[in-house]
Structure 1
Amino acid sequence: MGVSKSTSPVAASWMNRLDGNMQLEKLKVCTKIGIECMESDPKRRPFAWCIVNMIDKTASADETNMTSSLDERQVCLLNEQSDQERIGKLADTISHEDIKERPEIEVAAGSLGSDHSQEGQENTDHWSSCDLSTERKDNIQGTSISNSNSIVLDKLSILKIFNWGGHRNFVRNGGRQLKNSRGLRIFTKGEIKKITMNNSVVHGEGTFSRTYKGILPDITMVAVSTIMAGHYFLADDFIKSVEIQTQLIHKNILKLLGYCLEKDAPILVHEFAAKGSLKDILCDYENQILPLDLRLDIAIGSAEGLRYIHSTGIRHGNVKPDTILLDEMFTPKISDFVLSELVNTDGYIFTTAGGTILYMDPMIMKDGIVKLTQKDDVYSFGVVLLELITRMEIDTRKFCEIESGRRAMFDNDIAVEEDIPVLEEIGKLAFECLKGEVQRPDMTEVTKRVMMLRRDRILRKARKTN
């Protein structure tokens, strides 16, 4: 059976491209099957069992080809295993319930067995050469398209015809550059599916990615982040993000455990932050009580994490409540290093501006390509401090209005008279972070001052108790 005129140039093009080794031969077969399935005349399209038959023959030829590279003992062992035994093993995997509910499986399995028991039978170029009895035709015509598709997909999965796709994605997503990354585990897509129970529990969602709750075989909880459909990513950015995270080992940095590169977009596996993001906590007014001591601890932990990042010569580039995650004990963990950069010896980088506008220094929005420094992270942290004491989203474009009325903006849950001085000092520090770059403190200074505020508060409470 030939293909339509409109598709024959496509077929010829693919056949020319795929000539070479056995792996390409498999692709050639799959291409031919796809073209045959798109015949304009439904009557000329192949039955599902014929497709399975064709694929199985290709896999069998692949096995024969592979034996040539084995030693004599391996060749002997493979030769002792007949085609009939291999088909028997495949047939054993089909459950009795499936056969009862889907009779076409029995037909397909029977066809496979009879076909492989006939030695010397050659692959044919036309579907008409598939020997269908009248009874078998009637049986297959009564089955549903969805069931037939399921059989074919199951067969493809068993024979691993499309493993080349996973390898292609692995290479495209940076697998060669990252294969020597120390301390990271490379997950297969099958492992990711098991870990997340097929993405059954969503843990969080960002602008570009969705995070699922996962459980490793040793019962360790993990967070599995995938890029959502419709969002574009650059492999170079992903590679850079992973390389940066492997350098950062700190209690206030979200730990990267591994990655999966076999899908179209890469997947990251991190330690699990049970409480979600700081933004989630700040917005959950009804269910989450946030005493001042806890807010100070979160501020200190976040500042320490950011100070550590800067000490390694890295600019985070996207500091905000969404990227500060909290574990079960409310320990802050800085995450999301997609926009992170390594600054040069002069302390700055030239790059494309990125991030969330409300947390970005307005000065860096003047041009698309700008000179960025670690002080831009300090600005963003200043906004985070304000949101911690107000429990509101802060628009720093209304700077003067906020500064003049900041006391009235304090969160009522913590704005008790005895704590007003501490809140005032936190607000003062936050606004110093929002000043021009030259006047801003660095994160070492910011961390020191927040820790002093907590220490003074502890001493004040102790004196009051005594």
Structure 2
Amino acid sequence: MVIIMATIFWGQLICQKRKLSKVKLEYFRQHGGMILFDKLKSEKGLAFKVFSEDELIHATNNFDNSRILGRGGNGTVYKGILKDQMSVAVKRCALADERQKKEFGQEIIILSQINHKNIVKLLGCCLEVEVPILVYEFVLNGTLFELIHGKNHLKISFNTLLRIIHEAAEGLSFLHSYASPPIIHGDVKSSNILLDNNYMAKVSDFGTSILAPSDKEQFVTIVQGTCGYLDPEYMQTCQLTDKSDVYSFGVILLEILTDQLPLKLEGSETQRSLSLVFLCAMKNNNLDDVLASHVKSEESMELLSGLADLAKECLDMHGINRPSMKEVADELNKLRKLSVHPWLQLDMEANAEILLGGEPTSGHEIELSGYTIGENENQPINPRSSYYAK
């Protein structure tokens, strides 16, 4: 009797495993896994891995809550540690519709081949589950949003923030102009700009990204993105374009200029939206009223006016009038040259004193985003300093 029961048990277990394998295979096919495998075979040098579900369960300690790095409308991201002790970011995507399922494999192939220093690298994926899981490089120093709005944002020089947004613009410009086919991010915001150990910007989270439509009449059924950053033209037409990313990037420019959140819960409709407040100030020639006080004290009005003008162009209600991301990146590169480095400014002041017949002032101290360099050469330097000069 015991033998019969054991045989039945093992028989049921084998049947369940076979059913599970069939289900996993069906999910794999639905998500374009066969297309991906064919690509990996034809391009053996492609640094991309198809993970099993078990591998990622082990890496994330069964997707334990303590491993969560962030949540969003497009899924939850966990810190994972692979068998070779490499740290990765594991993203369990939100539910995908039938269109997304059909295109997923093809889009994964394209994203896997993007190699740019200012874009988070996609290392692999898992397709044998109902909703695909993506594996990205692990970027450890938080987000631009935290840098601007967090407790320590005053320790970061405006020059550093300017360098970070320029790098982010370069990453987006690459997606729009040099990826083949072009890629529209679809959810550009300061919390999707990650910072590596050198505080270099890396554009992340491609949960709402789409390949640039070849048919200009292609519409989306549901407008996705983040309130405060959404392109008003996209909300009206349901057409996501590269200029939608440009509008969202314009809001990020406002964040660093004003130190304000993109959207507030209090006040009238025009007071809640940072972009509307800014555009109203520009129309009335009141830029000074919306600029953050620490920003005005750090940088010249020439630079700040240039950034404000660029933001205004990005926020134009008509996408056709907005600059391309490449033009935005080029303009930011020019504007960065107007930002005077603190030590350069100190040298200029010292030289001016010498020319006037005086002695250079001794004991000057310069704050560089969290640590101070003074007369004492042995003064300790914070190794986690966020200052990063290009």
TM-score (norm 1): 0.61
How far is 1:461 from its partner?
Answer: 6.0
Q: 2:210 aligns with which of 324, 341, 353?
A: 341
Once residues 315 and 2 of structure 2 are traced to their aligned partners in structure 1, the CA distance between those partners, rounded to angstroms, is 66
* Residue 199 (structure 1) aligned to one of 42, 63, 82: 63
Mapped partners of 2:249, 2:305: distance in 1: 17
Q: Give the deviation of 1:379 after TM superposition.
A: 1.4
Q: Distance in 2 between matches of 1:449 and 1:298?
A: 14
After TM superposition, the structure 1 = structure 2 runs for residues 86-125 of structure 1, keeping only pairs within 5 Å, are none
Deviation string for 1:69-94 (max 9, x for gaps)?
A: xxxxxxxxxxxxxxxxxxxxxxxxxx
- Which residues in structure 2 correspond to 1:383-398 (within 5 Å)? 383-394=251-262, 395=273, 396-398=275-277
Out of 306, 310, 329, the position equivalent to 2:176 is: 310
Query: Using the alignment, how far apart are the partners of 1:464 and 1:326 within structure 2?
Result: 29
Structure 1 residues 287, 414: CA separation in 2 closer, same or farther (over 3 Å shift)?
Answer: closer
2:339 matched to 1:457?
yes
1:163 corresponds to 2:42? no
Q: Which residue of 2 aligns with 1:222?
A: 88
1:378 pairs with 2:246: yes
In 1, the alpha carbon distance for the partners of 2:2 and 2:244 equals 60
Match among 259, 282, 285 for residue 148 of structure 2: 282
User: Which residue of the partner structure matches residue 79 of structure 1?
Assistant: none
Q: Residue 109 of structure 1 aligns with which residue?
A: none
Q: 1:49 to 1:344 in 2, by over 3 A?
A: same
CA pair 409-223 structure 1, distance change in 2 beyond 3 A:
same
- Structure 1 position 190, deviation (Å): 1.1
Unaligned runs of 5+ in 2: 41-45, 263-272, 349-390
Equivalent in the alignment of 1:271: 137
Higher relative contact order, structure no. (Cα contacts within 8 Å, ≥ 6 residues apart): 2
Higher mean alpha-carbon deviation, 420-429 vs 200-209, is at 420-429
* Contact 1:241–1:340, Cα closer than 8 Å, also in 2: no
- When Rg is computed on C-alpha atoms for both structures, the one with the higher figure is 1
Q: Does 1:401 align with 2:270?
A: no
Selected match of 1:361 from 206, 231, 236: 231
- When residues 427 and 321 of structure 1 are mapped into structure 2, their CA distance, relative to the original with a 3 A threshold, is same
Amino acid across the alignment from 2:259: R
Cα pair distance change 1:54/1:318, threshold 3 Å = same
Q: Distance in 1 between matches of 2:132 and 2:225?
A: 21
Aligned to 1:440: 322
Contact 2:35 2:106 in 1 (8 A): no
- Aligned residues of 2:281 and 2:289 also touching (Cα < 8 A): no
Q: Residues of 1 paired with 2:325 and 2:156: CA distance?
A: 24
Over 3 Å counting, the alpha-carbon distance change for 1:454 and 1:176 in structure 2 is same
User: Equivalent residue for 1:105?
Assistant: none
Does structure 1 conserve the Cα–Cα contact (< 8 Å) formed by 2:117 and 2:202?
yes
Q: 2:96, 2:164 → 1: CA distance?
A: 33
**What is aligned with 1:42?**
none
SS for the counterpart of 2:334 is: helix
**1:203 touches 1:276 (CA, 8 Å); kept in 2?**
no
CA shift, 1:178, in A, is: 2.0
Corresponding residue of 1:12: none
- Residue 363 of structure 1 aligns to which amino acid in structure 2? E
For residues 134 and 292 of structure 2, the distance between their equivalents in structure 1, rounded to whole angstroms, comes to 36
> Residues 349 and 413 (structure 1 numbering): CA distance in 2 closer, same or farther, change over 3 Å?
farther
The equivalent of 1:209 in structure 2 is 75
Q: Is the 8 A contact 1:227 1:266 kept in 2?
A: yes
Name the residue aligned to 1:141: none
SS at 2:319 equivalent: coil
1:350, 1:402 → 2: CA distance? 36
Displacement of 1:217 in angstroms is: 2.4
Shift of 1:275: 2.0
Instruction: Report the AA paired with residue 10 of structure 2.
Output: D
CA contact (8 A) 1:325 1:335 kept: yes
In the other structure, the counterpart of 1:172 is 30
Per the TM alignment, residue 397 of structure 1 is displaced from its structure 2 partner at its CA by 4.2
SS of structure 2 residue aligned to 1:448: helix
- Aligned counterpart, 2:128: 262
CA distance in 2, matches of 1:52, 1:294: 67
Q: Percent identity?
A: 32
For residues 149 and 280 of structure 2, the distance between their equivalents in structure 1, rounded to whole angstroms, comes to: 23
Q: Find the residue that maps to 2:219 and give its secondary structure.
A: strand
What is the CA deviation profile of residues 221-255 of structure 1, one whole-angstrom value per residue up to 9, with x for unaligned ones? 11000135xx4544135335413312421111110
Return the alpha-carbon distance in structure 2 between the equivalents of residues 275 and 49 of structure 1: 58
**CA positional deviation for 1:206:** 1.2
Q: Is the 8 A contact 1:291 1:413 kept in 2?
A: no
Q: Sort the Cα spacing of 1:417 and 1:172 in 2 relative to 1 into closer, same or farther, 3 A.
A: closer
- Alpha-carbon contact 2:186-2:208 (below 8 Å) kept: yes
1:380-435 C-alpha deviation (Å, 9 max, x unpaired): 11111111222322323445434344433333343316444322321221111112
User: Retained in 2: the 8 A contact 1:224–1:269?
Assistant: yes
Residue type matched to 1:388 in 2?
A: I
Deviation (angstroms), 1:160:
7.0
Partner AA of 1:335 in structure 2: S
Counterpart amino acid of residue 234 in structure 2: I
Answer with 404-413 or 48-57: which moved more.
48-57
Distance 1:226 1:321, change over 3 A: same
The residue correspondences of 1:283-302 to structure 2 (distance < 5 A) are: 283-286=149-152, 289-302=155-168
**Are residues 317 and 48 of structure 1, via their aligned partners in 2, closer, same or farther at CA, if it must alter by over 3 Å?**
farther
Q: Distance in 2 between matches of 1:244 and 1:335?
A: 15
| Aligned with 1:410 (options 273, 277, 291) | 291
Amino acid at match of 1:433: C
Alpha-carbon distance in 2 for matches of 1:332, 1:244: 21
Distance 1:236 1:338 in 2: 15
Q: Tell me the amino acid that sits aligned with residue 291 of structure 1.
A: S
